[in-house]
Structure 1
């Protein structure tokens, strides 16, 4: 396990060297910010299924019809209140093109949960969601993490190729949560991610894993147990 390192700019501790570019990847997370839990969630699926617009709608209530394909990884954060806890979710929107997969795989480290997205107007995107993408997630993130399967573009009902029941069946078969969403209208977008965060939070809460006001503890879901990674002594800056 790579030791946690602290950035001099924000005082935030990161699990790996890739994450040290804090000003780019941690919008909304600053030194002194108060929250009880921080969960890293990866957003994966084929290109053009609407991942970037889901993130934009969730975190900024924006939708861009001319949205371009993600290059590498983009980021956003959202905060939920669950009971008495303030929970911050850091969402990593990954590129769906094959040429970026070597980059994307590196970002699976330290993941607390995942959303696998397919396009309800493209049946092949569901096949890859529960095939290629799910396999890759489980191969490169060896932790038993909560996953939600999202059928996006629900507003394009007249072009639907994937029946709702088919999506539900795939989710049940693979032990995933399931939602159909519309990044355009916002339907079920917040609900899908809130449900995922609640599941992660419940599992973390059961093990009494939390974030102190000054020190971050990264939550990792192992196949047999939940392990808490505590920050190492301060080692310098980025």
Structure 2
């Protein structure tokens, strides 16, 4: 079974739950208190998708503004960028998330898959970002959209499955099992635009 290594970069404001999403996906655990990420950290996890194994190499970037200048070196060469906001903090959606989308549009890989993720959906009682607003924004830029809860595990596996679904499948050239693996040509997707 062929293995694909897929670099995924998580972006977003400090405290939105990026590290918790990574921890829940990679280790199926949630810690109630976590220290802010310094610079970036990475973890990997391999999952089966169809007839392939997808090895996600996940870069969890720091959300503090003083580390923003370092982030482009982490999303360079990424297959996907997951831009996370906190559903209970409007500013994390209206300002920080949209700023990262603009940054990806200007400097990210042209064919990067973008996922917009509203984390902490278990706190719906104190929600500040309406589901429809976020969904509409994600649709307008051609991004995947999911609401997740790293605490409960809601939609964490589904997020990475949705990324896998956007990766063009591999096929073997010739009949030999040792034949080189090539990417099947991907149908062009509309380049995401910005609307604030």
Q: Same fold (TM over 0.5)?
A: yes
**Corresponding residue for residue 46 of structure 1:** 13
Contact 2:77 2:109 survives alignment (8 Å): no
1:22-63: CA deviations, max 9, x gaps? xxxxxxxxxxxx852111010111110000000000000111
- Which secondary structure state, in structure 2, belongs to the residue aligned with residue 102 of structure 1? helix
Give 1:162's match in structure 2, choosing from 129, 137, 140. 129
Contact 1:143 1:222 survives alignment (8 Å): no
Q: CA RMSD in A?
A: 2.8
Contact 1:110 1:218 survives alignment (8 Å): no
Contact 2:75 2:81 survives alignment (8 Å): no
Contact 1:46 1:128 survives alignment (8 Å): no
Q: Quote how far apart the aligned CAs of 1:190 are.
A: 0.8
- Written as runs of structure 1 = structure 2, the 5 A alignment for 1:111-190 is 111-190=78-157
Identify unmatched segments of 5+ residues in structure 1. Answer: 1-33, 226-238
**Corresponding residue for residue 100 of structure 1:** 67
**Corresponding residue for residue 195 of structure 1:** 162
In structure 1, C-alpha distance between the alignment counterparts of 2:127 and 2:161, rounded to whole Å: 25
**Corresponding residue for residue 22 of structure 2:** 55
When the two structures are superposed, what TM-score results if normalisation uses the length of structure 2? 0.84
Size of the aligned set, in residue pairs, is 184
Q: Quote how far apart the aligned CAs of 1:136 are.
A: 1.1
Contact 1:146 1:199 survives alignment (8 Å): yes
**Corresponding residue for residue 205 of structure 1:** 169
- Which secondary structure state, in structure 1, belongs to the residue aligned with residue 122 of structure 2? coil
Identify unmatched segments of 5+ residues in structure 2. Answer: 190-196
- Which secondary structure state, in structure 1, belongs to the residue aligned with residue 7 of structure 2? strand
Residues 47 and 217 of structure 1: CA distance in aligned 2, closer, same or farther (over 3 Å): farther
When the two structures are superposed, what TM-score results if normalisation uses the length of structure 1? 0.70
Contact 2:88 2:126 survives alignment (8 Å): yes
- Which secondary structure state, in structure 1, belongs to the residue aligned with residue 121 of structure 2? coil
In structure 1, C-alpha distance between the alignment counterparts of 2:151 and 2:169, rounded to whole Å: 34
Q: Which of structure 1's runs of 4+ aligned residues deviate more than 6 A?
A: 206-209, 216-219, 221-225
Structure showing greater relative contact order (alpha-carbon pairs closer than 8 Å, 6 or more residues apart): 1
**Corresponding residue for residue 45 of structure 2:** 78
